[in-house]
Amino acid sequence: MCGIVGYIGNKPVYDILITGLKKLEYRGYDSAGVMIYDKSLLIKKSKGKVADLESLFVNDQDKKGSIGMGHTRWATHGAPNQINSHPHVSNSGEISLVHNGIIENYHSLKSVLLKKGYVFKSDTDSEVLVNLIEDIKKTKKIKLGKATYFALKQVVGAYAIAVFDSTNPTEIITAKLGSPLAIGVGESEYYIGSDPSPFLEFTKRCIYLNDNEMAIINLKKGLTLRDIKKDSIIDPFIEELKHDIEEVEKGGYDHFMLKEIFEQPKSIKDTFRGRLLSPSLPIKISSIEMHFDKFRSANRIIFISCGTSWHASLLAEYYFEELIRIPVKVEYASEFRYRNPVINKGDIVIPVSQSGETADTLAAIKMAKEKGAFLYGICNVVGSTIARETDTGVYTHAGSEIGVASTKAFSCQISLLLLMALDIGKRLGRIEEIRYQKIIKELAAIPKTIESVLSKSKHIEDISENFLEASNFIYLGRGYHFPIALEGALKLKEISYIHAEGYPAAEMKHGPIALIDKYMPVVIIATNKSNYHKVVSNIMEIKARGGRIIAIVSSGDTEVKKLAEYTIEIPNCDELIAPILANIPLQLLSYYIANKKGCNIDQPRNLAKSVTVE
């Protein structure tokens, strides 16, 4: 959570910081602030968005300077107000710091500093860190880099930081533990970002800091990378990024979320690229090929994840047990990490994550590793911490997802999970050839099939008009559609703030049916395969109690059409393919409802794109 940017070089820094912060607003948008150095230190901060911060710069004189740092905040310690905004400045006014993460032992550090006479203006853990650095620097009479090093040795928690000392204004110190940090390398200039998006337009040469690494970036001496644990110098690895700048622009759509929904055919093609070459050729997922012995001998597969990625994992349970016949367990990473789960040698643990930075998932990985599990990571962000912390894995290659509500990343996750299940199941000889052929053909065609679902967007937009006043929704699905019902409800909650719950359709009668009345819209997935008639019975039960039904049906359906107030058709397909398609209208329905209600679609209140705190 929170985004940090920085620049040190010869260009005017103001625009670099402001445009960079706007690109990182998906990480938090409670407040924003910048530090710019031009002969003296200028700090400006504001509650709210980067645009609010911009409005404080009325004087062009303030925009001068070619060294600076910025921060966009998702509040953890202290209210989202101006005082708690970053950058935080030390008591002497010399050192400033931006921080993403949580200093868990800030209380004890703060009480030591209080005894020494330090004064704190904010409620943040970050202000404690900047004063700790100052205290060490002054007492030991050492440079900023060394002082930061000693301070971080005392810190328990997670951080990505950038620190600046106005008494030596040619240097920025950065360090990372648990929270992401990337450094863009230009010609005699360096950029800093929580991810590379702030500097992609200037340079594609990037150093991703690893945990316990610290970079001393000096305008004259260049960049020195140090290992904090070993206190030694390391050679930086500069990666050539392949990211496309258009990926992080809206491309004519009103919102990133809508753009990302419509990008799904292309994103899934990218997920399959090099892996699903043609339905007649074997699936090629190199990490499965290389580690197939692990899957062959696996006693159990455990998925760990959060939010939408947890819904993808839940669908994977259905896919894997059906096609591979190995027992599967799906756990919320946040629960898994704090109980004492039984993990045996021979268990494969599969973390699923879009960002690859989710703190709970990372902690669960650590725990599973200690217990001897084999870790196979599935994430979207290349080079992310989860990708690096797992034994092996596979990228979803959905492309940058900026909208806080996950859409294309989810579709790519579930398409990839089905592909994996088909690959492993076939290698183990657990799928009938005819069945395999049918599913693989439909899966290969899914980018095209999704296009046909997207072409119904106007119909879905029209339906959305009728539900703007609703304050509750129920989403129902059976079997493969149950995780999709959960995901549909989460999407609606996140961006429209309408309360929504997802249930397995058959669970209705065990309680939730009490909620049904004429004010309750029920979205029910009723495609024409195995449980169809049971779902039709559920629809009748809802109708009998006056509920308003929006049904996702297979094309040509006549039965449900007679019962539902609104229907949205998806193409006829195998029941394993249907959830991938059924999810698309639910994304669009949430989008149109939220948009018509005037909600902030890409940056819903209280949320952030990657949850790097507990």
**Best CA proximity match to 13, nearest among 169, 118, 150, 233:** 169
The minimum distance between CB 265 and ligand M6R, in angstroms, equals 20
Among the residue ranges 54-62, 203-211, 350-358, 365-373, the one whose residues contact ligand M6R (CB under 6 A):
350-358
Burial state string for 228-248 with b = 16 or more CB within 10 A and e = fewer than 16: beeeeeeebeebebebeeeeb
Among the residue ranges 141-149, 256-264, 402-410, 459-467, the one whose residues contact ligand M6R (CB under 6 A):
402-410
Cβ closest to ligand M6R, residue 450 vs residue 607: 607
Among the residue ranges 75-83, 265-273, 278-286, 604-612, the one whose residues contact ligand M6R (CB under 6 A):
604-612
* Phi, psi at 77, each rounded to 5°: -100, 110
The minimum distance between CB 585 and ligand M6R, in angstroms, equals 17
Distance CA 110, CA 128 (A): 6
The residues pairing with 206 across neighbouring beta strands, listed in sequence order, are 184, 239
The minimum distance between CB 506 and ligand M6R, in angstroms, equals 25
- Site pattern 436..475 for ligand M6R (x: CB under 6 A): ----------------------------------------
As given in the structure block, the two tokens for residue 464 are 């959305």
Asked if residue 406 binds ligand M6R (CB under 6 A), the reply is yes
* Near ligand M6R by CB under 6 A: residue from 398, 405, 489, 576: 405
The residue type of 450 is: I
SS3 content of the chain, % helix, strand, coil (to 5): 40, 25, 35
The minimum distance between CB 364 and ligand M6R, in angstroms, equals 11
* Near ligand M6R by CB under 6 A: residue from 66, 76, 126, 353: 353
Which of positions 500-539 make contact with ligand M6R (CB under 6 A)?
none
Asked if residue 213 binds ligand M6R (CB under 6 A), the reply is no
Cβ closest to ligand M6R, residue 74 vs residue 566: 74
The minimum distance between CB 27 and ligand M6R, in angstroms, equals 11
Distance CA 304, CA 299 (A): 16
The minimum distance between CB 307 and ligand M6R, in angstroms, equals 2
Residue with tokens 């690859």: 356
Asked if residues 368 and 331 have their Cβ atoms less than 8 Å apart, the reply is no
Asked if residue 260 binds ligand M6R (CB under 6 A), the reply is no
Asked if residue 396 binds ligand M6R (CB under 6 A), the reply is no
Burial class (CB in 10 A: 0-12, 13-18, 19+), 165: buried
Cβ closest to ligand M6R, residue 13 vs residue 405: 405
Residues in CB range of 299: below 8 A, 6 or more apart: 326, 327, 344, 346, 347
Distance CA 182, CA 197 (A): 10
Asked if residue 484 binds ligand M6R (CB under 6 A), the reply is no
The minimum distance between CB 410 and ligand M6R, in angstroms, equals 8
Cβ closest to ligand M6R, residue 172 vs residue 490: 490
The minimum distance between CB 467 and ligand M6R, in angstroms, equals 20
State whether the Cα torsion 418-420-421-425 is positive or negative: positive
The minimum distance between CB 578 and ligand M6R, in angstroms, equals 21
Which of helix, strand or coil describes residue 529?
coil
Cβ closest to ligand M6R, residue 100 vs residue 308: 308
* Phi, psi at 39, each rounded to 5°: 70, -30
The minimum distance between CB 386 and ligand M6R, in angstroms, equals 8
Asked if residue 355 binds ligand M6R (CB under 6 A), the reply is yes
* Near ligand M6R by CB under 6 A: residue from 178, 611, 612, 613: 611
As given in the structure block, the two tokens for residue 431 are 């799928």
* Near ligand M6R by CB under 6 A: residue from 163, 404, 551, 573: 404
Cβ closest to ligand M6R, residue 217 vs residue 490: 490
The minimum distance between CB 242 and ligand M6R, in angstroms, equals 20
CA 226 vs. chain centroid, Å, equals 28
CA 220 vs. chain centroid, Å, equals 37
Which residue of this chain has its Cβ atom nearest to ligand M6R in the complex?
307
The residues pairing with 570 across neighbouring beta strands, listed in sequence order, are 554
As given in the structure block, the two tokens for residue 419 are 């592909």
- DSSP letter (8 states) at residue 117: T
Cβ closest to ligand M6R, residue 335 vs residue 517: 335
Cβ closest to ligand M6R, residue 24 vs residue 67: 24
Cβ closest to ligand M6R, residue 171 vs residue 494: 494
Cβ closest to ligand M6R, residue 85 vs residue 355: 355
Per-position DSSP letters for 275-343, written without gaps between them: T---TTSPP--HHHHHTHHHHHT-SEEEEEE-HHHHHHHHHHHHHHHHHT---EEEEEHHHHTTS----
Distance CA 531, CA 533 (A): 6
Q: Which helix (H) or strand (E) holds 440?
A: helix 433-444
Cβ closest to ligand M6R, residue 306 vs residue 348: 306
**Best CA proximity match to 90, nearest among 138, 50, 45:** 138
**Best CA proximity match to 151, nearest among 127, 134, 173:** 134
**Best CA proximity match to 404, nearest among 251, 126, 607, 258:** 607
* Near ligand M6R by CB under 6 A: residue from 90, 271, 361, 396: 361
Cβ closest to ligand M6R, residue 90 vs residue 358: 358
Asked if residue 494 binds ligand M6R (CB under 6 A), the reply is yes
The minimum distance between CB 420 and ligand M6R, in angstroms, equals 17
Asked if residues 482 and 511 have their Cβ atoms less than 8 Å apart, the reply is no
Asked if residue 358 binds ligand M6R (CB under 6 A), the reply is yes
Among the residue ranges 44-52, 59-67, 263-271, 605-613, the one whose residues contact ligand M6R (CB under 6 A):
605-613
* Near ligand M6R by CB under 6 A: residue from 354, 400, 449, 464: 354
Which of positions 412-431 make contact with ligand M6R (CB under 6 A)?
none
Distance CA 87, CA 33 (A): 6
Active-site residues, by number, are: 2, 609
Distance CA 255, CA 259 (A): 6
Q: Is the bond leading into 87 cis (omega within 30 degrees of zero)?
A: yes
* Phi, psi at 312, each rounded to 5°: -65, -40
Asked if residues 60 and 80 have their Cβ atoms less than 8 Å apart, the reply is no
Q: How many residues bind ligand M6R (CB under 6 A)?
A: 16
Residue with tokens 């644990």: 229
Which of positions 271-330 make contact with ligand M6R (CB under 6 A)?
306-309
- Residues lying near ligand M6R in the complex (CB under 6 A): 306-309, 353-355, 358, 361, 404-406, 494, 607, 610-611
